[in-house]
Structure 1
Amino acid sequence: MSLVDRINAAARKMPVWGLYVVGALWPAWLFYLAASGGMGAEPVKALEHELGRLALKALILGLCVTPLRAMIGLNLIRFRRAIGVLTFYFVSVHLLVWLVLDVQILSEIWKDILKRPYITIGMAAFLLMVPLAITSNNWSVRKLGPRWRKLHRLVYPIAILGGVHFVMIGKTWEKDALVYLAIILALLAWRVIQTAKKRKSREQGARVARRSVS
C-alpha cells in the first residue's frame, strides 16, 4: 500500500467533527500564547498576524483539495466543507482581535477601512466569505441546487484578495507573504487550465458526434 493509500485510509476513519474540534481550539492556543507572553512585546499585533496567517493557510488547504485528488489521488473531499467553515472562523477571530483589541475605537475602525487599502481589501474578502459560510450546510446545497456551486466559486476572488491583503500588511515585500500569494495564483491557474482542457475535450467530442451523424 502506497503512502497516499494509507493517508486516504486514515482520512476515511477520521470523523469530520475531529477537524472542527482541532480547528476551534487552535485560536484558543494562540490567545493563550499571547496572554502568557509567548508572542513578544506586542502580543495583540502578533496574535492578529498569526490568526490571519492561520486563515490564509486554511484557505490554501481548501484550494489544494481538488488538485491533490486529481494529481496524486489524495482524497480529502469529505473535509473540504469543514476546512471552508474553519477558514471563515479563523478570519472572524482575526477580525475581532483587530476590532476589539487593536483599534478599539469605533470611529477609527471606519477610518482605517477607508484609508488603508490593505484593510479595505481584507474587509472585501471577509464580506464575500459571509454568504459562503451561511450556505455551508446540506440544506443550502439542496435548496440552491446548481447555484450553490456557482456561489461557492467566490472562494477564488476571496483567495486572491486574502493573498494580496497579507502581502500589503508588511511594510516591505516579505518572502513568506509572496510565497502564499504565488501558491494561490498557481492553484487558480491550475483550475483555469483544467477548465480549458475540459471545454476543449467537450468541443472535440461534439465535433466527432456531428461527423458520425452526417
Structure 2
Amino acid sequence: MPTSPSQPTAQPAAAASVPASAVGRRDSRRSTQRWLPWGKVVVFLLALTPLLRLVVYGLTDRLGANPVEFITRSTGTWTLVMLCVTLAITPVRRLTGMPWLPRLRRMLGLFAFFYGALHFATYFWLDQWFDWADILRDVSGKRPFITVGFAAFVLMVPLALTSPHAMVRRLGGRRWQRLHRAIYAIAVLAILHYWWMKAGKNDLAQPAIYAIVVTGLLGARVIWAIGGLKRRPPSLAQTQAPGSSRSPANSDSTVSRSRTR
C-alpha cells in the first residue's frame, strides 16, 4: 500500500518536540538510579567505620587508660559529626545542583541517632551502671551538659521512629517536615552539650569548630528562607481560588519535597 508523504516525517517531528534538556534530565536520572544503590553501600560502610574502629580497639586493648571515657568521647563526637553531615545535605545540594544527595539524608540521620544511642548507653551502663538515682540527678540539672545532651537525644527519638517511608505517608508530608525540623534544635543542644562538657576542662577549641559549622549550616537556611520570602509575590494567595487544587492551602507536599529540610 503506498505511504502518504506526511507519514515519513511524523516520527522525526515527534522526536523534535522533546526538548534536549528533558532528554538529558531523563538520562541523568537513569544513570543515578544505576549507581545510587552502590553509593549508598559505600556511605553505609563509611558511616559504620567509627563503630568498627571501636570494636577493633577494644579487642586489641587500645582504648587507653580509661576505656569508658574513650568510648563516650568517640560516640559523642561521631553523633555530632553525623548531625553536621545530615544538615549539610541541603546546602551542598543547592550549591552543587546534585539532586541525588537528599536520598542519603535518611541513612545519615539514622546513623546520627545510632551513635547518639551508643553514647547514652555508654553513660547509662558503663559510666553509671544503671544508678537511676544518680542519673536522675544529672539529668534534672546537677550537671547541665548532661541535661541538654539528654534533651537532644530525646528529640532524636521521634525523628528516628518516623524515618520510614510509611510514616511519611501516614503523617503527611507537611506534618512530617515540621516534625523533622527538630533537627535544628537537636544540633544546637548537641553543641551546648559539647561546649559545657569541655568548658569544665577549659578546652573549647573543638567545640568552637563544631559551633561555627552548625551556625553556618543553619544560617544558610535562614538566609535562603528570607530570600524566598522577598521573592514571593504578595498576591499569590489572592490569585488562586480557595477551592482550587493548585491552592497552597490545599496542596500536599510530596515525599521527596518533604525531605528537604
Bin of the TM-score, shorter chain as denominator length: 0.7 to 0.9
Q: Deviations over 1:28-79 (max 9, x none)?
A: 4314314533232111101100100001000000000010011123442111
CA distance in 1, matches of 2:114, 2:213: 22
**Displacement, 1:81?**
0.4
TM-score by length of 1: 0.85
Q: Flag the structure with higher helix content.
A: 1
- Which one of 99, 107, 112 corresponds to residue 133 of structure 2? 107
CA distance in 1, matches of 2:72, 2:35: 31
- Which one of 150, 161, 183 corresponds to residue 155 of structure 1? 183
Q: Is the 8 A contact 2:50 2:78 kept in 1?
A: no
Mapping of 1:1-214 within 5 angstroms? 12-17=36-41, 19-24=43-48, 26-74=50-98, 75-104=100-129, 105-114=131-140, 115-145=142-172, 146-170=174-198, 171=200, 172-203=202-233, 206=236
**Displacement, 1:11?**
6.2
Percent of counterpart pairs with the same letter? 31
Q: Is the 8 A contact 1:34 1:47 kept in 2?
A: no
Q: Which runs of 5+ in 2 are unaligned?
A: 1-27, 240-261
| Secondary structure of 1:82 counterpart | helix
CA distance in 2, matches of 1:125, 1:51: 15
CA distance in 1, matches of 2:56, 2:134: 27
Q: Is the 8 A contact 2:149 2:190 kept in 1?
A: yes
Relative distance call for 1:28 and 1:13 in structure 2 (3 A) is: closer
| Secondary structure of 2:177 counterpart | helix
Q: Is the 8 A contact 2:145 2:196 kept in 1?
A: yes
CA distance in 2, matches of 1:25, 1:176: 21
Name the aligned partner's letter for residue 132 of structure 2: L
Aligned residues: 204
CA distance in 2, matches of 1:11, 1:166: 37
Relative distance call for 1:69 and 1:205 in structure 2 (3 A) is: farther
RMSD over aligned CA atoms reads 2.6
**Displacement, 1:148?**
0.4
**Displacement, 1:99?**
0.8
The structure whose Rg is larger is 2
Relative distance call for 1:33 and 1:136 in structure 2 (3 A) is: same
Name the aligned partner's letter for residue 36 of structure 2: R
Name the aligned partner's letter for residue 103 of structure 2: R
Q: Is the 8 A contact 1:125 1:161 kept in 2?
A: yes
**Displacement, 1:191?**
0.3
Q: Is the 8 A contact 2:68 2:126 kept in 1?
A: yes
CA distance in 1, matches of 2:158, 2:232: 32
1:212 aligned residue:
none
Q: Which runs of 5+ in 1 are unaligned?
A: 210-214
Relative distance call for 1:35 and 1:164 in structure 2 (3 A) is: farther
